[in-house]
Structure 1
Amino acid sequence: MILRIDHVGVVTADLGAAAPMLGLMDMKCTYSDDVDTYGVVTSFWQCPGDTTSIELVAPVREDAAVRGHLRRLGPGLNHVAFEVDDIDADLAALRDRGAVLVDEEPRRGGRPGLRVAFAHLGPSTGLLVELVDYGNRA
């Protein structure tokens, strides 16, 4: 079951150049990490008092998952992430309902304890969604 919007992912070729732009809006970096499974580095930014984040995502390898996006579209919106309570069941439900899975199985995400999986909702929306599951997060 979808619990909430967790974050919005923004792809950039240069994390160091993009990060100060979020600071212009008084957002603060709350977490950064290398996510080797996707070949990217990420940083999460939040407004004071809000739990929804903007995630900056930049490639660190030639085979990074976001390189194609940057080549085709340049920097910008990449995905909307939804926190779910059972990523395995929700991923299967998306598949059964016709979504095109990018990840057949959940992978390690860009925050501690996070499991993630991506899916395309189809050409009518062009939307890439990420399911995020923190497990037993308090």
Structure 2
Amino acid sequence: MILRIDHVGVVTSDIGAAAPALALLDLKCTYEDDVDVYGVATSFWQCPGDTTSIELVAPVREDAAVHGHLKRLGPGLNHVAFEVDDIDADLRALQDRGAILVDEEPRRGGRPGLRVAFAHLGPATGLLVELVDYGKRA
């Protein structure tokens, strides 16, 4: 079940160059990490007191998952991430409803303990969604 919007992913070719734009909005960088399975670096930005983030995503190697997006569309909105309570069940439910899975199985995400999976909702929206599951939160 979808619990909330977790973050919005924005692709850039250079996180260091994009970060000052988010700082203009008084957003603060709350976490940075490399996600090797996708070949990207990430940084998460939040308004004080809010748990929803903007994630900057940049390629760190030639086979990075976001190179196609950058080549076709340039920097900008890449995905909307939804926190779910059971990523395995929710991924199968999306597939059963007609979504096109990018990830057949959840993978390690860009924050500690996070499992993620991506799916396309289809050409009517062009929307790439990410399911995120933090597991049992304290």
Q: Which residue is 1:72 aligned to?
A: 72
Q: Which residue is 1:23 aligned to?
A: 23
Please tell me whether residue 63 in structure 1 is matched to residue 59 in structure 2.
Answer: no
Residue aligned with 2:63, SS: coil
Cα separation, 1, equivalents of 2:107 and 2:48: 29
| Within-5 A mapping of 1:1-138 | 1-138=1-138
Q: What amino acid does structure 2 have at the position aligned with 1:116?
A: V
* TM superposition score normalised by structure 2: 0.99
Structure 1 gap segments, 5+ residues each: none
How big is the alpha-carbon RMSD for the aligned residues of Structure 1 and Structure 2? 0.4
How far 1:53 sits from its partner (Å)? 0.1
- Moved runs in structure 1, 4+ residues, more than 4 A? none
Cα separation, 2, equivalents of 1:98 and 1:65: 22
Residue aligned with 2:71, SS: helix
1:86-133 CA distances to partner (integer Å, 9 max, x unpaired)? 000000000000000000000000000000000000000100000000
Q: What amino acid does structure 2 have at the position aligned with 1:29?
A: C
* TM superposition score normalised by structure 1: 0.99
Cα separation, 1, equivalents of 2:103 and 2:28: 30
Cα separation, 1, equivalents of 2:114 and 2:49: 21
Cα separation, 2, equivalents of 1:22 and 1:125: 26
1:61-90 CA distances to partner (integer Å, 9 max, x unpaired)? 000000000000000000000000000000
Residue aligned with 1:10, SS: strand
